[in-house]
Amino acid sequence: MGLCMAKTDKDKKVYKNGFNLFEAYPIQFSEKVETVPYDEPAEAFNFPFPDKNIAHIMVNLCPTEPWALPHVRITENNPREFFSKLDRVRTRYFGGSHCHAVISSHEIDLIKEVKEFTWHGDWLHTYLLDPIYPHDAPVLLLKKILGLHLAYGQDTRETGVLILEPQAVAEIFEHYIRGNECSTRLIPLSGTGLGENKILKVKPGTPIQAILDGNVRENITCRVFVDGPLNGSEVKDMRQRIGWTTKNIVILEERDYKTPFSFFRLNELVFTTSLMGELRRCVYCNHCDDMCPVNLEPALYWQCHTRGEKQRARLYGLEKCIECGLCSFICPSKLELLQIIKECKLADSGSRLKDETDYKKI
Amino acid sequence: MKQIIKKFEPILNKNLNRVESFIQTRPRVNFLFGALFEAFDGLIRSSKDTAKTQPYIRNQMDIKQFMGGILVALFLGWVLPSIYFFGILCVVPKIIVSFVVGVFIVDVLWVILAKEERINEGGFVTCLFIPAFLPPQAPLWLIGVGAAVSILFRNITGGVGMNLLNPALFGRLLLTICFPTMVVTGWQEPFLGMPTIQSLTYGVDAVTHATPLLIYKETREITSYISLLFGTNTGSLGETCRVALIIAGVWLCKKRIANWRIPVAYLGSVFIFSALFFYTIGETMAPPLLQLLSGGLIFAAFFMATDPITTTYTQIGKWIFSIGCGFITVIIRNFTPIPEGVMYAILFMNLVGVPIQSIVLKIKYRA
């Protein structure tokens, strides 16, 4: 029985801070799962099994974003079955590996049930996590659970760790072990552009337009985001198709007009694409580095960027950034800090720094 | 009330849009009043900007709320108590003069002449500081001059976000240099007891009286700590009711508008250094508690030193900054003939903050 209770003091060391998105954006999905009609055949399911030896499988049952699929919809209140599926997948394809399941510390029922499991050997380890964004980012999970240091953007498979989405476990089980044809996937649909937040059963290969039809509120302009508005990307072309890796779709109202007395009506603006303020100069309020999960100071990058010394930003631990976007999210001056960080990362580190060392010699 | 606003809102919105398009289509009008309209509009309506890059949702806190929080804290911390102690006729005209001269004359003129986009809300905060650290009987023109100098100084050095020194303290420094007697005289006995209409409007008749620190320097007499805490004592307009200031300051820290490290380190270091001097050098030094509770220390520690722009950005730098403030305050108060050292301490550390910042960064990142 490997229920490792995460100690709070260790928590604080690894994760300095984060943001509880569930409090800021409470999203309730409707109970019923609707099927999106689409006549053409679905994209064939194909899980890219890694050729490297996998020593650890990580399953995250604690999504930290409210628009992500609640894991209850996959386990269907029967975690026992889910874990037995996981065991089958593990023994069949990743023999000898250990499974690490991350569970939200708020779900007392699930924790209890996991504790009562007696049938599993010592292959399953469970960890508790507070659902605070972005503590489930791969880099942070690996660092905390396995003590591995991973650079942002590096493939976890290189270090022998496979991060499996809970839904992917069920899909692999259905498709490869049961041999059934797996043709649908659950996609949560949420946001202020909708009348109701829904969970849809979608055939991968369906264009996004087919999903939006009939769900989006009328008379408003909307923007569509795949995989969450914080970390995901915007959908410009509605013919883009849903894939087997699409996690969720968020549709936000575009408030590109002025709202009078906005400070009394924040709830209207809160879950839209509005900047909720004006772009200002940085006032060094320390909100970004209070929020940063990896102890960086994003305002320094802004300083470097405005002075035109993008290469200098590397000096301040830039490579540690996991691009979670919390600094831009929290900034009261509405600076595009994530964009600045990306630009600084791209900047060529060679030429300018050389000059500087020369200058120091003189 | 809500329904009235709802009816009124579309009309207002429509008219503002009409004015906006009127101004923007006429270059000459835009040159003179475009910036002013933008600034005024920004106070009433939200911006129409939307997120163009990741992340596509943003937190609701913006600079307007940031400054609004400070204004609310200042109002509860010094405006309300001082109305009780000195009367409306003493307090309100000063605030009005400060706002009118600072924000509505100097800043508006600057916005029009320099073609900046907006009046900064930071101006209101600066102007609300000016009457607070002048004596209750300071003439109105003095406050007007102070507000004008402060705002002008802030704008000349580049506006909010670029100023090296706290503009309000710089204004006060200039006033101290130009009118040295006026900023240290005119203390008034506060009103005590049940408030009446008469007391709330006029306060009590003026009695000139020395401040607790001066009393100690001259006679070694310690004013009661309770009276110091609740402000039933002489002092500048805004610094006397320390209980209210502490409550408002703690609220600010909790809202994360002010950084809690600065008041903690500042007050703590003043206490420790003054205790050190008091027990080694002796009675010529004021005792630590008297030092904590007298003068503008608590006001400055919670509201002036925490100004995020003029302190260092790194958290370690903030500790060094505020311990330095505390040390200089104690030194100036006890070893020089100047009665109060808070202003000089903060201004000096504002300047030293720049090298502190770069040294801390060099050590932290080995860069």
Task: Report the CATH number at residue A146.
Answer: 3.40.50
Instruction: Write down the pLDDT at residue B208.
Output: 64
Q: Cβ contact (<8 Å) for A287 and B256?
A: yes
Work out the average pLDDT over B233-242: 85
In a domain? residue A98:
yes
Torsion of CA A129, A133, A137, A140, to 10 degrees: -60
CA distance B120 to chain A (A): 10
Q: Cβ contact (<8 Å) for A263 and B309?
A: no
- Residue ending a domain, among A125, A157, A178, is A178
- Residue ending a domain, among A156, A178, A200, is A178
Work out the average pLDDT over A99-112: 83
Chain A and chain B share a number of CB contacts under 8 A equal to 169
Instruction: Write down the pLDDT at residue B206.
Output: 63
Q: Among A14-18, A39-43, A133-137, where is mean pLDDT lowest? A: A14-18
Query: Quick one: pLDDT band at residue A12, thresholds 50, 70, 90?
Result: very low
Q: Percentage of chain A surpassing pLDDT 90? A: 7
Q: Out of A223, A299, A332, whose CB is closest to B62? A: A332
Convert B155-171 to b/e letters by CB count within 10 Å (16 or more is b). beeebbbebebbbbbbb
Query: Quick one: pLDDT band at residue A111, thresholds 50, 70, 90?
Result: confident
Q: Out of A25, A271, A283, whose CB is closest to B63? A: A283
Query: Quick one: pLDDT band at residue B367, thresholds 50, 70, 90?
Result: low
Q: Out of B57, B161, B367, whose CB is closest to A273? A: B57
Put simply, whether B48 touches A (Cβ < 8 Å) is: yes
A158 shares its domain with A297: no
In a domain? residue A9:
yes
In a domain? residue A57:
yes
Burial (0-12, 13-18, 19+ Cβ within 10 Å), A211? buried
Instruction: Write down the pLDDT at residue A355.
Output: 47
pLDDT tens for each residue of B62-75 = 888 888 899 999 99
Q: Among A222-226, A274-278, B169-173, where is mean pLDDT lowest? A: A274-278
CA distance A169 to A92: 12
β-bridge pairing A185-190 and A222-226: unpaired
Confidence check: pLDDT of A120 > 80: no
Number of domains observed in the structure of chain A? 2
Confidence check: pLDDT of B59 > 50: yes
Q: How far is CA B2 from CA B5, B42, B131, B345, B362, in A?
A: 5, 21, 35, 48, 54
CA distance B325 to A211: 61
What average pLDDT does the structure give for chain B? 87
Query: Quick one: pLDDT band at residue A360, thresholds 50, 70, 90?
Result: very low
Instruction: Write down the pLDDT at residue A7.
Output: 39
CA distance A93 to A95: 6
Instruction: Write down the pLDDT at residue B205.
Output: 65
Q: Out of A260, A284, A333, whose CB is closest to B45? A: A260
CA distance A19 to chain B (A): 10
Work out the average pLDDT over A205-221: 87
Work out the average pLDDT over B329-343: 87
Name chain A contacts of B68, Cβ cutoff 8 Å.
263
Read off φ and ψ for residue A89, nearest 5 degrees: -60, -40
Instruction: Write down the pLDDT at residue A122.
Output: 77
Check residue B208 and give left, alpha or beta (phi > 0: left; psi -120 to 50: alpha): beta
Instruction: Write down the pLDDT at residue B172.
Output: 92
What is the largest distance, in Å, between two alpha-carbon atoms of chain B? 73
Q: At residue A207, what is the residue type?
A: P
A172 shares its domain with A296: no
In a domain? residue A234:
no
CA distance A54 to A271: 40
Query: Quick one: pLDDT band at residue A361, thresholds 50, 70, 90?
Result: very low
Q: Among B18-32, B264-278, B294-308, where is mean pLDDT lowest? A: B18-32
Q: Which among A218-232, B210-224, B347-361 has the top mean pLDDT?
A: B347-361
Range of the domain at A119: 2-23+47-178
Instruction: Write down the pLDDT at residue B168.
Output: 93
> Nearest Cα to B42, choosing from B121, B99, B114, B160?
B121
Q: Out of A25, A252, A280, whose CB is closest to B63? A: A280
Q: Among A180-184, A259-263, A344-348, B75-79, where is mean pLDDT lowest? A: A259-263
Q: How far is CA B79 from CA B120, B240, B244, B245, in A?
A: 22, 11, 10, 10
Q: Sign of torsion, CA A212 A216 A222 A226? A: negative
pLDDT tens for each residue of B84-118 = 888 888 899 999 999 999 988 998 888 888 877 66
Cβ-Cβ contacts under 8 Å for A132 (sequence gap 6 or more): A15, A18, A19, A20, A64
Q: Percentage of chain B surpassing pLDDT 70? A: 97
CA distance B65 to chain A (A): 8
In a domain? residue A52:
yes
Are residues A317 and A341 in contact, defined by beta-carbon separation less than 8 angstroms?
no
Work out the average pLDDT over A103-112: 82
A8 shares its domain with A136: yes
Confidence check: pLDDT of A3 > 60: no
Query: Quick one: pLDDT band at residue B11, thresholds 50, 70, 90?
Result: confident
> Which residue does chain A place closest to B38, by CA atoms?
A278
Work out the average pLDDT over B331-356: 90
In a domain? residue A142:
yes
Query: Quick one: pLDDT band at residue A362, thresholds 50, 70, 90?
Result: very low
B 348-367: CB under 8 A from A: 361, 365, 367
Check residue A10 and give left, alpha or beta (phi > 0: left; psi -120 to 50: alpha): alpha
What average pLDDT does the structure give for chain A? 82
Q: Is B206 or A240 the better-scoring residue by pLDDT? A: A240
Work out the average pLDDT over A216-243: 88
B 244-273: CB under 8 A from A: 256-257, 259
In a domain? residue A209:
no
Work out the average pLDDT over A296-315: 88
Q: Cβ contact (<8 Å) for A273 and B50?
A: yes
> Which residue does chain B place closest to A300, by CA atoms?
B313
CA distance B245 to chain A (A): 21
β-bridge pairing A233-235 and A98-104: unpaired
Selected residue of B11, B50, B67, B356 to mutate for chain A interface (largest A Cβ count, 10 A): B50
- Structure token digits, residue B197: 């209409």
Name chain B contacts of A289, Cβ cutoff 8 Å.
315
Q: Among A104-118, A280-294, B142-156, where is mean pLDDT lowest? A: A104-118
Put simply, whether B2 touches A (Cβ < 8 Å) is: no
- CB count in 10 Å sphere of residue B29: 13
- Residue ending a domain, among A151, A178, A205, is A178
Confidence check: pLDDT of B153 > 90: yes
In a domain? residue A356:
no
Convert B316-336 to b/e letters by CB count within 10 Å (16 or more is b). bbbbbbbbbbbbbbbebbbee
Are residues B324 and B284 in contact, defined by beta-carbon separation less than 8 angstroms?
no
Query: Quick one: pLDDT band at residue A74, thresholds 50, 70, 90?
Result: confident
Q: Which among A10-24, A293-307, B220-234 has the top mean pLDDT?
A: A293-307
